Amino acid sequence: MTATDPALTALAQGWCALSLLHGRIEAHIERALQSGHDLSVREYSLLDVLSRQHHGEGGHLQMKQVAAAVVLSQSATTRLVTRLEDRGLLARYLCPTDRRGIYTDVTPAGLALLGAARPTNDTALRQALDAAARDPELAPLVHAVENLRVPA
């Protein structure tokens, strides 16, 4: 393949369109969450991921799993956890069976904020997708997102 190869150009254009769609959606949701709930997209995502944990076997996520789920480095995830802990939205405690492990749970205040922010997130996502669907370059990607079926 050369730099002028049509297949490479199409691939690059597709990647740019996907990146553009992601950026527009994230920016729209960010504005809605910030103005309505004083939350960033990353903070919302972290609360959402951690709220889905359970206390049974394998129910708590390791920090590397959390980092992967919110698409941040482990150090950035740790800083994010610390910020939300300082706001009283998360709490950390030692794993009862492995003193080296630290669990992070969403506090009742965090769950309440997440519950209030979830409709804002969902509405902003729908609005951003609807706006992007009107762009002929992004419409096929919106269609793909809307028809994506994630295994449970």
pLDDT digits (tens, 9 = 90+) for 8-35: 688 889 999 999 999 999 999 999 999 9
Give the pLDDT of residue 37.
Answer: 98
Q: Determine, yes or no, domain membership for 120.
A: yes
Look at residue 7 and tell me if it is in a domain. Answer: no
Give every CB contact of residue 9 below 8 A, 6+ residues apart in sequence.
Answer: none
- Across the range 93-122, mean pLDDT stands at 89
Residue 119 has pLDDT above 60, yes or no: yes
CATH number reported for the structural domain that contains residue 73 in this entry = 1.10.10.10
* Pairwise CA distance, residues 94 & 48, whole Å: 21
Task: Establish if 8 belongs to a structural domain.
Answer: no
**Can you give the pLDDT at residue 117?**
98
Residue 91, helix vs strand vs coil: strand
Q: Domain range spanning residue 77?
A: 17-146
The model's pLDDT over 45-95, given as tens digits with 9 standing for 90+, comes to 999 999 998 776 667 888 888 899 899 999 999 999 999 999 999 998 887
128, part of any domain: yes
Cα–Cα distance measured from residue 2 to residue 42, given in angstroms and rounded to the nearest whole number = 38
Assess contact for 115 and 47: CB atoms under 8 A. Answer: no
Confidence of residue 116 (pLDDT cuts 50, 70, 90): very high
pLDDT at 1 over 60: no
Tell whether the torsion through CA atoms of 133, 41, 75 and 47 is positive or negative.
Answer: negative
Structural domains in the chain (count): 1
Classify residue 134: in a domain, yes or no: yes
**What was the pLDDT predicted at 103?**
82
Q: Which long-range contacts (CB under 8 A, 24 or more apart) does 30-36 make?
A: 31/124, 32/120, 32/121, 32/123, 32/124, 33/117, 33/120, 33/121, 33/124, 36/117, 36/120
Average pLDDT over residues 35-51: 96
Helices (H) and strands (E) in the chain, counts: 6, 2
In a domain, 5, yes or no: no
Is residue 6 a part of any domain in this protein?
Answer: no
Domain-located, residue 123: yes
Q: Is the pLDDT of residue 145 over 70?
A: yes
